[in-house]
Structure 1
């Protein structure tokens, strides 16, 4: 393949904090390898058009709120034969430039690994527990309703792999989608995210699709990023409903357990 860019990345934009977004964009642009960043603007009026002027940035107007997965998929047609690696990036993360090259080096060690992700921390340094076992219905319900958290406490802890040493790398069931680094050819073969999910569960779903490919997802805690994490579905009834509908779609597709 005649690739002229080593890594591409995509960020889907809607109701973003501009300061956080500028920080995330800066983190990626500071990576010292050939790169291209696609900014996918899901706003009706192109709110983010013209905000960033850089040779390594390409702006894509949708213009409607088509959701997280469908938004990232807008970059798919630009990726084939374009880059070796593709980064799914949230607009509220920060990281050191060397993280990208380190993660790429780890991916190159094993062709059966399709995606890699680092440890994720809150801005105050707390662990975000981004690597998880595939969810059960009871676990998802317990995460949303406080009165169930005590009843299903052991299940929740197990679901976030807290029975393992999270300072060691391992192949996880799924990794939350704020920072997924893929081999581009694998992301293209997956056809990106399932667009039936508007928001939530698409990161779990794509990890299931990686399983079907016979490939793996590596959690690599030797590198860390900071993620603000809005946790919208616990604060907004509308987003709670979106999360619920996405969960229903997920279990109907993959089965209940």
Structure 2
């Protein structure tokens, strides 16, 4: 069975990147890994010479989702059944892909699965979310009252669940998306109108709309450096705000009945409403 993956590059640290590449390749599965390099130069071309790795230099830099779409299209062409969208700052142990593959084979309604995500020090990252409201995406970022932010995060990031059980989650992080490719063919790849940030929320939402589940699977774990670049750079913050505007123009700002329905169903199923 063919499994593909893709890492989108942009002037990455080679040591961190190699750890991600080697994590993906450390298996006996039939793999192909695409490296789509959005950097101006092709300095990362020789970062890994494994025959299972295919490098594409893409200096026009059309964005994160658009670059991943190149690899998704190639993956479909070579007959892959599953495809991993992988961040360059993620690494994981041998056996992780096999476990997720086995889960997907047993659950054909699942279009995307994400494992438990940890910081390198072993602490938990809260990357399961409800579909965002404008406050969740923009307001939390600028709210100076941390108590209110933390209170909202308890619900929005589903922190109340303990992250210790398999859950249907409407918005999973884009750092590690193990996708069923026939589902992606059905609903389409990443929306290329989003340059970066939030494209995974849009994709998860369209998977759900297409009749698929997006699932958190905590029985395997990965490690994610998680730099939060948008919190450290005004340029990246601006890109994030532009992405939010695009997303809410597409799906609805304050009046979004589908969002309300999906989020309420999620909270009911997870036992938030007693």
Relative to the length of structure 2, the TM-score reads 0.88
Which structure 2 residues correspond to residues 40-55 of structure 1 after superposition, within 5 A?
40-55=36-51
SS of equivalent residue, structure 1 residue 40: strand
Partner of residue 131 from structure 2, selected from 134, 140, 155? 134
How big is the shift at 1:256?
Answer: 1.8
Which structure 2 residues correspond to residues 206-217 of structure 1 after superposition, within 5 A?
206-217=203-214
Structure with bigger helix share is: 2
Q: After superposition, what is the alpha-carbon deviation per residue over 1:122-180, rounded to whole angstroms, capped at 9, x for unaligned? A: 11111111111111112223431251432343222100101223110110011010000
Mapped contact 2:65–2:199 kept (Cα < 8 A): yes
Mapped contact 1:114–1:216 kept (Cα < 8 A): yes
Runs ≥4 in structure 1, deviation > 4 angstroms?
A: none
Q: After superposition, what is the alpha-carbon deviation per residue over 1:45-99, rounded to whole angstroms, capped at 9, x for unaligned? A: 2221233211100011112222110110111331225211100000011101201
Partner of residue 57 from structure 1, selected from 53, 59, 69? 53
Which structure 2 residues correspond to residues 29-108 of structure 1 after superposition, within 5 A?
29-80=25-76, 82-108=79-105
Q: Which runs of 5+ in 2 are unaligned?
A: 255-274
SS of equivalent residue, structure 1 residue 118: strand
Partner of residue 124 from structure 1, selected from 116, 121, 127? 121
More deviation, 156-165/221-230: 156-165
Residue in 1 that maps onto 2:169: 172
Relative to the length of structure 1, the TM-score reads 0.94
Mapped contact 2:5–2:32 kept (Cα < 8 A): yes
Q: Please say if 1:201 is aligned against 2:201.
A: no
Q: Which runs of 5+ in 1 are unaligned?
A: none
Mapped contact 2:72–2:83 kept (Cα < 8 A): no
